[in-house]
Amino acid sequence: MADRTPGFDTLALHAGSAPDPATGARITPIYQTTAYVFQDVKHAADLFALRAFGNIYTRIMNPTQSVLEAKAAALEGGTAALAVASGHAAQLLTFHTMMQPGDEFIAVRQLYGGSINQFSHSFKSFGWHVVWADAEDVGSIEKALSPKTKAIFIESVANPGGIITDIAAVAKIAKAAGVPLIVDNTLATPYLCRPIEHGANIVLHSLTKFMGGHGNSMGGVIVDAGNFDWSKSGRYPLLSEPNGSYHGLKLHETFGSIAFAIACRVLGLRDLGPSIAPMNAFLILTGMETLGLRMQRHCDNALKVAQWLKKHPNVSWVNYAGLPDDKHYALHKKYCPKGAGAVFTFGLKGGYEAGVKAVSSVKLLSHLANIGDTRSLIIHPASTTHSQLNADQLKLAGATPDVVRLSIGLEDVEDIIADIDQAIS
């Protein structure tokens, strides 16, 4: 074993998860505790001053959570990670650590709808301003740069629309501008794509989706690539300047390549408070053990469903990067050759009425607003998640009345196809 680099599935099972040192339990226990006894007064003081690593209070750190963090960092190839209550909490703490009031960040429009809301509305009240660009036109990201830009945010694989972003091209722009590239890797997972290998500085996940994978727990994670110099420009003071709440400690100088993950924990998580429940960390850890097996099956099933839909007389178009004639096929081959993910959209010739009929007629698929479950899921955005938008807004959002979105699960693919067939025929 010693001279071998473990493969992905070995890491998914073993990274971070040694037998419990106190009891020998082979499975990581659910450490359902709020606080931890100090060894003595000096130990307590060292923990509070960040002179020693250790558990103080579960808002900041918990042993079940720590195993999840070690596993996520190993799978993404990062130096450290921080697990939090949800994907949105991961985004909040990431930006909290790098943004000051009045700062800007660039995000591409092709994002999860909840992120568009968070960036355009809630972040505005912190004085953090999003500047939108286009994932399919990397030049638009360069044009959006300004002296106030603090970060660039993209998704590796974006829903809906089956978009694959040219991560290396965006990383080049970020590097030249001296700002970090943040990649939301929720839809791809590290099994399909490892953004750090293409130049990403921070990788985020909603663990709620494929990473946990069973539709039972909310969670998010921030993975620190350890490859960004937070002190160079003096524009990330939370990391580079003496911190008043830690006796003037400079986080980047002290913690080097894990400074970002530490800062998110000891400032953002400590003060804003979105910690992950130990029970959720446990359930997500269990899901992550089979990530490779599940993702391959998700992708294989999705490709077969997409190929079948493409030939269906009631279907006008299918957006799935795994189809050779899709405009994102080449990027799929470059960034996630094992599969193009399991979330995609297609259009029904019958428009709005046909979309409503389809989601009302499925028997095996679940009609709901989620993705990345073991089960196959379906939604008709125009009548649900996007029903408040007018015709122009629907078009911009890629949610025209004919659009149906699928998240293909792990059932026998013949059964998935049979159910969709009876629902759209």
User: Can you give the binding site for ligand PLP, defined by CB under 6 A?
Assistant: 86-88, 112, 114-115, 155, 184, 186-187, 206, 208-209, 218, 220, 371
CB of 89: closest distance to ligand PLP in angstroms? 7
Contact 262, 246 (CB under 8 A): no
Pairwise CA distance, residues 394 & 29, whole Å: 46
Helix (H, G, I), strand (E, B) or coil at 18: coil
Helix boundaries (H) for 8-52:
8-14, 41-48
The minimum distance between CB 207 and ligand PLP, in angstroms, equals 7
Measured from the CB of residue 287, what is the shortest distance to ligand PLP in angstroms?
Answer: 13
Q: How far is the CB of 204 from ligand PLP (least distance, A)?
A: 7
Q: Which helix (H) or strand (E) holds 83?
A: strand 80-84
Compare residues 302 and 424 and give the one whose CB is closer to ligand PLP.
302
* Residues paired with 1 in a beta bridge: none
Query: Which CB, 171 or 218, lies closer to ligand PLP?
Result: 218
Smallest distance, ligand PLP to C-beta of residue 73, A: 19
> Of 214 and 310, which has the nearer Cβ to ligand PLP?
214
Q: Cβ closer to ligand PLP: 381 or 417?
A: 381
Cα angle value 34/36/38 (rounded, 5°): 155
CB of 157 vs ligand PLP, minimal distance in Å: 9
Alpha carbon distance 314, 351 (integer Å): 10
| 12 versus 343: smaller Cβ distance to ligand PLP | 343
Nearest-CB residue to ligand PLP?
87
Nearest to 225 by CA among 77, 72, 93: 77
- In the numeric block, which tokens belong to residue 300? 């294989």
What Å distances lie between residue 210 and 58, 253, 294, CA to CA? Answer: 25, 35, 8
Q: Which is nearer to ligand PLP, 88 or 297 (CB)?
A: 88
DSSP state of 258: G
Q: Minimum distance from CB of 92 to ligand PLP (Å)?
A: 10
Helix (H, G, I), strand (E, B) or coil at 105: strand
> Between 87 and 401, whose beta carbon lies closer to ligand PLP?
87
In the complex with ligand PLP, the residue whose CB is nearer, 17 or 186, is: 186
Question: Taking Cα atoms as reference points, which of 89, 233, 110 lies closest to residue 162?
Answer: 110
Strand-pair partners of 346: 318, 404
Q: How far apart are CA 406 and CA 305, in angstroms?
A: 10
Neighbours of 25 (CB within 10 A): 10
Q: How far is the CB of 245 from ligand PLP (least distance, A)?
A: 27
User: Which residue from 119, 128, 124 is spatially nearest to 155, judged by alpha carbons?
Assistant: 119
